[in-house]
């Protein structure tokens, strides 16, 4: 069997998604997600102009060889654009392999290690009361783990807060990036009160998570971790900018609050120090941004040696194809921790028909051959690409800060 076609489809059913479609001489079609929020067309071009021509004529069964060919063959290594492009090819080839074998991808990866994949949802609010009500709704829907984000009083546009008009949280805006304002001092005083309120109303029988979104210095993060210990968070995420791996030594020296890092990192080398020095508890690298299933499972294998668990990024800007791929891998690894499940807003469901399910706080990728996602290209054509940017964050004196 040979690869006979590879094309990139950029569409915006609810938000922008970049999809790679790989066709084979046997008529089997595989799909991969290549979405990099706010920089979508860079990956689309990387694939269209530099990768798709290389795929034609290759044997789709040789997934690892193709990965090595694209990674080492480019000479230029790592980085979100490269690793997202390679991920799309990798995931599409796993999809093909599953369809050829008539097996779901998790069976190709060694089979299920558990009955279901524990997922966490997002509860947020413009104040603690609104957050608390959203939290209660998540519990009613069956979630066993919920991320909490509340607007810091006085800080307009705190990360993670939806506009409050019934729309889900979606940071990307058209035209120019929105600008948010931030001061860590108010946040550091406020965050423990959010946890206190949630634990007081809902007790300790549910996992509570929180995303700091890269905003603190190491010593501030250490202080936050220590202040939250009594509320037993499942984790705090990205407490400092993730690219400075050594910063986590400072945080680790001061607190037992579990740490999750990695959604902006793209390779095993980016998380090597974090894992081998046991500076984190959960690694958040994703299928889409970390070289696909083939590379991410190496990250997880390294993490397993050091007692680090998975906690993959699963925001709505990773397409349903990426979510399906994540669930297959989550099911098959021994050191699974938790999976983010933000969901996708409509009309994404008209373009991506998925077979994964949610029940009582757990997801399952289903048993359809391959990934179990059908990509409807004709439906995708009805939702053309819209340029969008993530926000930019400034401190109150105007200094650009991590968003
Ligand atoms: C998360 C993430 C996202 C990112 C988004 C950027 O933990 O879910 O931090 O909300 O901000 O994926 O594109
Ligand atoms: Mg995050």
| SS3 letters across the chain | CCEEEEEEEEECCCCCEEEEEEEECCCCEEEEECCCCCCHHHHHHHHHHHHHHHHCCCCCCCHHHHHHHHHHHCCCCCCHHHHHHHHHHHHHHHHHHHHHHCCEHHHHCCCCCCCCEEEEEEEEECCHHHHHHHHHHHHHHCCCEEEEEECCCCCCCCCCCCCCCCCCCCCCEECCCCEEEECHHHHHHHHHHHHHHHHHHHCCCCEEEEECCCCCCHHHHHHHHHHHHHHCCCEEECCCCCCCCCHHHHHHHHCCCCEEECCCCCCCHHHHHHHHCCCCCEECCCCCCCCHHHHHHHHHHHHHHCCCEEEECCCCCCCHHHHHHHHHHHHHCCCCCEEECCCCCCCHHHHEEECCEEECCEEECCCCCECCEEECHHHHCCCCCCCEECCEEEECCCCEECC
64/84 same-domain check: yes
364/228 same-domain check: yes
Q: Is residue 281 part of a domain?
A: yes
Each residue of 178-204: pLDDT tens digit? 998 999 999 999 999 999 999 999 999
Please choose from 17, 147, 171 the residue to mutate so as to test ligand 1's pocket, defined by most ligand atoms within 8 A of CB: 171
Instruction: Report the distance separating Cα 254 and Cα 239, nearest Å.
Output: 13
210/291 same-domain check: yes
What is the pTM (predicted TM-score) of this model? 0.97
Predicted local distance difference test score (pLDDT) of residue 158: 78
Instruction: Report the distance separating Cα 94 and Cα 82, nearest Å.
Output: 19
Number of domains in the chain: 2
Task: Quote the mean pLDDT of the chain.
Answer: 96
Instruction: Report the distance separating Cα 149 and Cα 158, nearest Å.
Output: 9
Using the predicted structure, report yes or no on whether residue 163 has a pLDDT greater than 70.
no
User: Could you say which of 51, 79, 103 is where a domain stops?
Assistant: 103
Q: What is the CATH number of the domain that holds 194?
A: 3.20.20.120
Instruction: Report the distance separating Cα 19 and Cα 47, nearest Å.
Output: 10
**Does the annotation count 159 as an active-site position?**
yes
Using the predicted structure, report yes or no on whether residue 164 has a pLDDT greater than 80.
no
Question: Cα 346 vs. chain centroid, distance in angstroms?
Answer: 19
If you measure from the C-alpha of residue 237 to the centroid of ligand 2, how many angstroms do you get, rounded to a whole number?
A: 6
Predicted local distance difference test score (pLDDT) of residue 138: 98
Burial grade of 187 (CB within 10 A; 0-12, 13-18, 19 or more) = buried
Ion ligand 2: residue ranges with CB closer than 5 A: 211
Each residue of 66-93: pLDDT tens digit? 999 999 999 999 999 999 999 999 999 9
86/162 same-domain check: no
Instruction: Report the distance separating Cα 79 and Cα 240, nearest Å.
Output: 19
If you measure from the C-alpha of residue 279 to the centroid of ligand 1, how many angstroms do you get, rounded to a whole number?
A: 21
Q: Whose CA is nearest to atom 8 of ligand 1?
A: 315
Using the predicted structure, report yes or no on whether residue 160 has a pLDDT greater than 90.
no
If you measure from the C-alpha of residue 186 to the centroid of ligand 2, how many angstroms do you get, rounded to a whole number?
A: 20
Cβ-contact 88, 47 below 8 angstroms: yes
From the list 106, 138, 213, 289, the catalytic residue is 213
Is 211's C-beta closer than 6 angstroms to any atom of ligand 1?
yes
Instruction: Report the distance separating Cα 284 and Cα 258, nearest Å.
Output: 13
First to last CA, the chain: 46
Predicted local distance difference test score (pLDDT) of residue 348: 97
50/179 same-domain check: no
Residue 169 Cα: closest atom of ligand 1: 10
Predicted local distance difference test score (pLDDT) of residue 63: 99
Q: Is residue 33 part of a domain?
A: yes
**Which ligand sits closest to the CA of 147?**
1
Q: Is residue 49 part of a domain?
A: yes
Predicted local distance difference test score (pLDDT) of residue 165: 59
169/220 same-domain check: yes
Cβ-contact 309, 337 below 8 angstroms: yes
63/144 same-domain check: no
Burial grade of 336 (CB within 10 A; 0-12, 13-18, 19 or more) = buried
Using the predicted structure, report yes or no on whether residue 338 has a pLDDT greater than 70.
yes
42/149 same-domain check: no
66/161 same-domain check: no
User: Could you say which of 103, 133, 166 is where a domain stops?
Assistant: 103
User: Could you say which of 84, 103, 122 is where a domain stops?
Assistant: 103
Q: Is residue 227 part of a domain?
A: yes
Q: Is residue 374 part of a domain?
A: no
Residue 147 Cα: closest atom of ligand 1: 7
Mean of the pLDDT values across residues 56-68?
A: 98
Note down the domain range covering 89: 3-103
81/183 same-domain check: no
Split at pLDDT 50, 70, 90, the class of 168 is low
Using the predicted structure, report yes or no on whether residue 166 has a pLDDT greater than 70.
no
Each residue of 197-246: pLDDT tens digit? 999 999 999 999 999 999 999 999 999 999 999 999 999 999 999 999 99
If you measure from the C-alpha of residue 283 to the centroid of ligand 2, how many angstroms do you get, rounded to a whole number?
A: 11
Split at pLDDT 50, 70, 90, the class of 172 is confident
Q: Above pLDDT 70, what percent of the chain? A: 98
**Does the annotation count 344 as an active-site position?**
no
Question: Cα 138 vs. chain centroid, distance in angstroms?
Answer: 20
Give φ, ψ of 158 to 5 degrees: -55, 140
Half-sphere exposure of 176 (CA within 13 A, CB side): 2
Split at pLDDT 50, 70, 90, the class of 328 is very high
135/258 same-domain check: yes
Q: Is residue 385 part of a domain?
A: no
242/96 same-domain check: no
Is 33's C-beta closer than 6 angstroms to any atom of ligand 1?
no
Mean of the pLDDT values across residues 106-116?
A: 98
Q: Whose CA is nearest to atom 1 of ligand 1?
A: 315
Q: Is residue 330 part of a domain?
A: yes
Q: What is the CATH number of the domain that holds 86?
A: 3.30.390.10
Q: Is residue 284 part of a domain?
A: yes
The token duo for 266 is 């793209």
Instruction: Report the distance separating Cα 199 and Cα 146, nearest Å.
Output: 12
């Amino acid at each position: 069997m040979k690869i006979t076609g590879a094309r990139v489809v950029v569409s915006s059913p609810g938000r922008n998604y970049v999809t790679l479609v790989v066709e084979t001489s046997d008529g089997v079609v595989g799909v991969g997600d290549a979405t990099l929020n706010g920089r979508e067309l860079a990956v689309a071009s990387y694939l269209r102009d530099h990768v798709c021509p290389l795929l034609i004529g290759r044997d789709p069964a040789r997934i690892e060889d193709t990965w090595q060919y694209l990674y080492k063959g480019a000479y230029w290594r790592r980085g979100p654009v490269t690793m997202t492009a390679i991920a799309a090819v990798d995931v599409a080839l796993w999809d093909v392999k599953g369809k050829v074998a008539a097996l779901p991808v998790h069976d190709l990866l060694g089979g299920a290690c558990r009955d279901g994949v524990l997922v966490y949802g997002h509860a947020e609010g413009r104040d603690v009361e609104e957050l608390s009500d959203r939290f209660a709704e998540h519990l009613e829907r069956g979630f066993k783990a919920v991320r909490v984000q509340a607007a810091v009083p006085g800080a307009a546009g705190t990360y993670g807060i939806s506009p409050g008009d019934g729309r889900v949280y979606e940071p990307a805006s058209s035209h120019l990036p929105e600008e948010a304002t931030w001061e860590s001092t108010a946040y550091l005083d406020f965050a423990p009160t959010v946890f206190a309120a949630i634990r007081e109303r809902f007790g300790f029988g549910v996992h509570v998570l929180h995303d700091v979104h890269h905003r603190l210095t190491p010593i501030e993060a250490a202080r936050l971790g220590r202040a939250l210990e009594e509320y037993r968070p499942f984790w705090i995420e990205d407490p400092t900018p993730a690219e400075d791996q050594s910063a986590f030594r400072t945080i680790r020296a001061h607190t037992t609050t579990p740490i999750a890092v990695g959604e902006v990192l793209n390779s095993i080398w980016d998380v090597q120090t974090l894992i081998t020095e046991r500076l984190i508890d959960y690694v958040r690298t994703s299928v889409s941004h970390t070289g696909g299933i083939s590379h991410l499972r190496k990250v997880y294998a390294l993490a397993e040696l050091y007692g680090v668990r998975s906690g993959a990024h699963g925001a709505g800007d990773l397409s349903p194809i990426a979510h399906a791929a994540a669930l297959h891998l989550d099911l098959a690894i021994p050191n699974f921790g938790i999976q983010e499940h933000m969901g996708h807003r409509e009309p994404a469901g008209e373009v991506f028909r998925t077979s994964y399910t949610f029940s009582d706080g757990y997801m399952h990728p289903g048993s359809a051959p391959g990934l179990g996602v059908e990509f409807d290209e004709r439906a995708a054509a009805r939702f053309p690409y819209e340029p969008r940017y993530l926000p930019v964050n400034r401190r109150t004196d105007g200094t650009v800060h991590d968003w």
